[in-house]
Homo-oligomer: A and B are copies of this chain.
C-alpha cells in the first residue's frame, strides 16, 4: 500500500513507531502493535503500528523521528507499506508469560530487538512484569547479563588486574566511591568505574562526581583516563555499556519493580572487563535489603552469577540505617568527600566504609592487610593526589578546593525541641526532602546533617540544614517537613513504633538505584 508520509516531529522514546489511520491498518491486515515494513527507495524500516481514528487521514502515515532518520524521508513523500511478521522475540516474551524458561539465544533476541527499538512498551512492560513475578533463575540472569553486554560497547584495557566496586544503592549520601577509586588506583590497581545518575535518590555517583569533573566521557576518553591514571569515575549513560538497561529502567521505574538488579549491575561490570568486584549491600531499615539474611541470599546470587561470568565477586554487607557521612545532595557530598580526602574533615563512618571496601579489593588482588594499607594511602595524601590526577585527566580543575564548590544558599535549619539522643533517621524522608529542595537536578540542593545516630542532642541543637538553590524549592521541602518523621530524639528507643487505628494505605518508598 502506498502512503504519504506525515512527519510528526516527535520522538517515540527510541522505538520505531508509525501511526496509521485505522481503516488503512485494517486494509493492510494489521492491528495496533503489530508491525509494518516501510520502504522508500532501497531503505526500509520495520515499525510498530499505532492506529488513529481521527487526525491521521486515510492514505497518510505518521512518521516518528526514529523511523524518519532510518528512511531519510521528507514530508509528503510516498512510502510503500506492507504487513511484516511479528519479531521472533515477541513469541519468546509470550512464552515467558507462560512461565517457560528462556534460552540464551531467545534472551539475546529479545534484548537485541529491544535495543533496536523493535519492541513496544506494552511488550517490554509485560516481559518485565513476568520477570518480576516469576523471578530470574541464575541461568536466565547469566543469559541476560551476557546479552546486555553483547548488545553494547565494551572497554578493552590491557592493565591488570582490573577491579571494580559497586553498591546496590538504597542508602543516602553514599559517597564511598569518591574515596575508594583514588585509594585503589593509587595502590596500582586498574579501576574503570562507571556510575549512574540518580533515578529515585537525591544523588547518584555520577551526579556527585560531576561536581568535581566532567563525567560524560566517550568510551575512548574513558580508556585514555584509565591508561593514564589507573582509574576514572564516569557516567555510564554516555558509554553505551549495556544500553538495554536504560530501556528496562524506563519501564521499571513507573511500575516500581526491579527484577533486573543482578544482570543490570553485572553486565556493566562485564562490559568493562572487570576481573574482581566488591559489591556493597547496604542493609537494614530504610534500605533496599531489610535483613542480614536477605543480604546474604543476594550476596550468594551475585557471587554465583560472577562465577558464571568469570568475575570474582566478594560482597560487603554494610550498615545502611542512616546516610553515610553528614551530607545528602550532589555538591554537599562532593565537598564532604573532598574534605575527607584532604584530611580537613573527620567523618568516621565514611572513612571506615571506604577503607573496608578498598581493603577488600587490595586483598583480592593479593596484597596483605588491605584495610590498613587503604588507610595509609588515604592518610598519606596519596589518595587525594590520585583524585586530582583523575580530575585533571577527565577535564576538571585539579586544584579544586572544598570552598570552591557551590552549595545552595537558600537554607533552613531544623532544631531539636528536646534533649536526648538521636535514635533513628528515616532515610526515605530525608531523600524526599532533598529531592523537593531540588536534588539531584540542582546540584547545590540537599540536606546537611549535624547529628548522626547515637549523638547526644541538647534542646535547640541544630539537627539538619536543608540547602536549596531556589527559594520556591526550599519552601516546597519545608512544607513537606510537617508531614514527615525525619528523625527521632529520645532517651531510649520507645517501644511503640506506630499506632494503626484504621487500615493503612502503605506508601512504599521505591529505590531503583543500582
Contacts and interface: CB of A to CB of B under 8 A. Distances in A.
B97 A250 contact: no
Contacts of A65: 54-55
Interface string A482-505: 000000000000000000000001
Q: How many copies does the complex hold?
A: 2
Contact of A11 (B34, B55, B99): B55
A255 B122 contact: yes
Interface string A81-121: 00000001011011001010000000000000000000011
Contact of A132 (B9, B97, B508): B97
A310 interface: no
A125 B133 contact: no
A8 interface: yes
A126 to B, nearest CB: 4
B26 A441 contact: yes
A256 B97 CA distance: 10
Contacts of A19: 10
A287 to B, nearest CB: 19
A481 B217 CA distance: 56
A454 interface: no
A136 to B, nearest CB: 15
Contacts of A133: 97, 99, 129-130, 133-134
B33 A97 contact: no
Given A91-B507, A121-B121, A441-B26, A32 B250 contact: yes
Given A50-B13, A88-B505, A441-B27, A253 B129 contact: no
What 6 pairs between A and B have smallest CB-CB spacing? Answer: A33-B254, A125-B125, A129-B129, A26-B441, A122-B125, A126-B129
Given A90-B254, A125-B126, 13 more contacts: A10-B10, A10-B55, A11-B52, A27-B441, A31-B199, A54-B65, A91-B505, A97-B132, A97-B257, A122-B254, A123-B125, A129-B130, A133-B134
Interface of A: 8-11, 13, 19, 26-27, 29, 31-34, 50, 52-56, 62, 65, 88, 90-91, 93-94, 97, 99, 120-123, 125-126, 128-130, 132-134, 199, 250-251, 253-257, 435-436, 441, 505, 507-508
